[in-house]
Structure 1
Amino acid sequence: MISSIVRNWCDAEAEHRLYLSNLMKKYFMANEGFRGPQMVYKTVAYYFIKNVEKLVLSHDRKDFLLSIELFIKSKADLGEASALFVKAVEQVFNYKRFTTKGSGWNAYALCRKSKARICPYCNHAYAFTVQSDSGDFRPTLDHFYYKDEYPHLALTLYNLVPSCSSCNSSLKGQADFFEVPHLNPLFDEENIQFYLSAGGDPTELVEAIQSRRADVLVKAKAMRACSESESSLKTFVINERYETLSVEAIDFYLAKRNYDEAALNTQLDFVFDEATLLRFDRASYSKYLLGKMYADIYDALSK
């Protein structure tokens, strides 16, 4: 995770809660009679969903983790019948049905409420929604806690991360973020920092940018040591991906440095607008593609 989007779904909370609570209510009403020894897995599924109803509607990560522990215990208690239990839960929290285009509350309606424009995992791919007469597209919704492993969280609002297909499908795939914790864009603070490197010696950076740009690379590191940050850097191959973006990084570095030098020149008789000249407003960095990288370069030059 590069960007924190903790307020991303605030405009969608009421509608999604109503959708999910009504879905569970219909399930409870339709399955009152499926309780008994002849259908143990259905009985376990029924009471499991009853027990986690408030947890899957929650916006608290602790509730999600507790629900996962209860899910794992229910599977273990059922033994060989656990696969039937999982299937029963999947049928209730049917993500495929939610992604079907149509009227009412669905994945497209939800994504239109998203505040994020950029994939928070990589920060260099867009993740917005467009619907028109000619066609539609929306960001993929990554299940931070993988829906095939924890199907009861398939429709939980704060388990859905608007992301690019590269991060969601190509890189994260079926990775279990419950077993191996990663930074969560919907809950965690930003902890990945970018910097320019020319072989490890900071004093050589300016000279390298001027005369041997091929030696200049973009690097990423955790600002505060934590396993979640290291896992995120590895899973989303952040360093490898950003090494291909040195041209953009160097161009911004030079633009910012040239602006700073020009701003100090009292002989120039005009007013500078930094955000216009740089095409980047540090105060609103999260709205830009590569905004976190630019913000970190900006800060390094402003010290």
Structure 2
Amino acid sequence: MIRIDSTKLNNWNEIKKDQCEYLKLAVEKELSNLYIKNNSYIRSRKIRKSKKYHTYYKLNNSEREEIENIFGGVFTVKNQKSKFVVSDDKKIEKLVVGKLEEVISIFEKNIINKNVINRIFNYEKFCNNNGWNRHRLISKLGIKVCPYCNRQYITNYEDLKGNKEKTTADLDHFYSKSLYPYLALSLYNLIPSCQICNSRFKLDKDFRKYPHIYPYEEGFGDNAKFKTRGNTVEYLLGNTLDFDIYLDVFESKYKNKIENSIKTFHLNELYKVHTDYVQEIIKKIIIYNDSKLNEILLDFPELFSSKNEMLRTIFGNYIVNEELGKRPLSKLTKDICEELGLNLKNV
């Protein structure tokens, strides 16, 4: 529900460079040392304790030309062995940071052996790579909270025993790698997320067929807001937990995507448990009305650099749109504050 603005990620250019270099090496490694026989390029291995060979895949001339075009490289042959060298890095970059629909259009038209695609865009190898891998990618992204639910931290830590970076996040493939294997290493298809959203709720659901909010371009924003409802006004006085929390979806071009996202990630059901958190917000708003807030700013000019910092301290969370991805339940906090009349203009 929270948008990821890649233009504001500190390490985005480094991440692009590292991911492009990883894919380039994977392409060259997989497509080199192929055995050439009868105009076919053959990837095979010798079966243990046998002189027989197991064939992974064969490439005919048409497939070879298609590969050279897509990956921006050239096959050379020497002593019946091939070598593939990428000469156009822009082709690799397009596969890594191109728009998802553009990458899909490239591979939907081609005739390349599926085993080649699966071996080049091998996500498991990427995860287990000793150099650039899943953990380092997530760590460099620096996204602290799951953008799908805004309820779970997804931080990184250093494994002192192995002296390696580790993360508490999953990398969700927005378009499932089982359905779109050529997107398995595309940066704009990799969404850092909590394990619940990725491994319990989303699974292999086809988000292309059933559109959902896409974090690299969209968030719920003001098109869907958390609200409260109860049978009595007692909850508005902070005296009871007998009320509901729900997402109110407004008419917009994103409505269908938002509703699909709410359903897939069970957001209405999950947020029902946070009534105690909302009760605290209600009580704080009763205490800290606009005049009280202005009084605090005047009385403690050395304590708070801005109204935003003061509100974050009082409500224990971020309440500015650009900062909602920094802490769990931030959108809930902002929306409830607005619902209860807190003036967030000029914050």
Instruction: Name the TM-score, length of structure 2 as normaliser.
Output: 0.71
1:297 and 1:29, CA in 2 relative to 1: closer, same or farther beyond 3 A? same
Residue identity matched to 1:294:
T
**Aligned position for 2:282:** 253
CA distance in 2, matches of 1:267, 1:154: 51
Correspondence 1:293 to 2:324? no
Correspondence 1:57 to 2:95? yes
SS of match in other structure, 2:151: coil
**Aligned position for 2:240:** 213
Structure 1 stretches of 5 or more lacking a match?
79-84
Correspondence 1:197 to 2:235? no
**Aligned position for 2:25:** 22
**Aligned position for 1:177:** 207
Correspondence 1:125 to 2:152? yes
Contact 2:226 2:335 in 1 (8 A): yes
CA distance in 2, matches of 1:171, 1:15: 30
1:127 and 1:277, CA in 2 relative to 1: closer, same or farther beyond 3 A? same
Contact 1:196 1:216 in 2 (8 A): no
SS of match in other structure, 1:197: strand
Correspondence 1:164 to 2:167? no
1:280 and 1:88, CA in 2 relative to 1: closer, same or farther beyond 3 A? same
**Aligned position for 2:4:** 5
CA-atom RMSD, angstroms?
3.3
CA distance in 2, matches of 1:194, 1:73: 41
> Which structure has more strand as a fraction of its residues?
2
Structure 2 stretches of 5 or more lacking a match?
43-56, 72-90, 305-309
Contact 1:45 1:89 in 2 (8 A): no
CA distance in 1, matches of 2:30, 2:257: 36
Residue identity matched to 2:234:
E
Higher RCO by CA contacts (8 Å cutoff, separation 6 or greater): 1
CA distance in 2, matches of 1:287, 1:57: 29
Aligned length: 287
SS of match in other structure, 1:295: helix
**Aligned position for 2:342:** 302
Residue identity matched to 1:164:
C
Contact 2:237 2:283 in 1 (8 A): no
Contact 1:255 1:278 in 2 (8 A): yes
Residue identity matched to 1:100:
N
Q: How many percent identity over aligned positions?
A: 27
Residue identity matched to 1:297:
I
How far off its partner does 1:261 sit? 5.9
> Which structure has more helix as a fraction of its residues?
1
CA distance in 1, matches of 2:97, 2:234: 49
Contact 1:35 1:42 in 2 (8 A): no
**Aligned position for 1:236:** 265
The structure having more radius of gyration, on CA atoms, is: 2
How far off its partner does 1:52 sit? 4.3
1:183 and 1:252, CA in 2 relative to 1: closer, same or farther beyond 3 A? same
Instruction: Name the TM-score, length of structure 1 as normaliser.
Output: 0.80
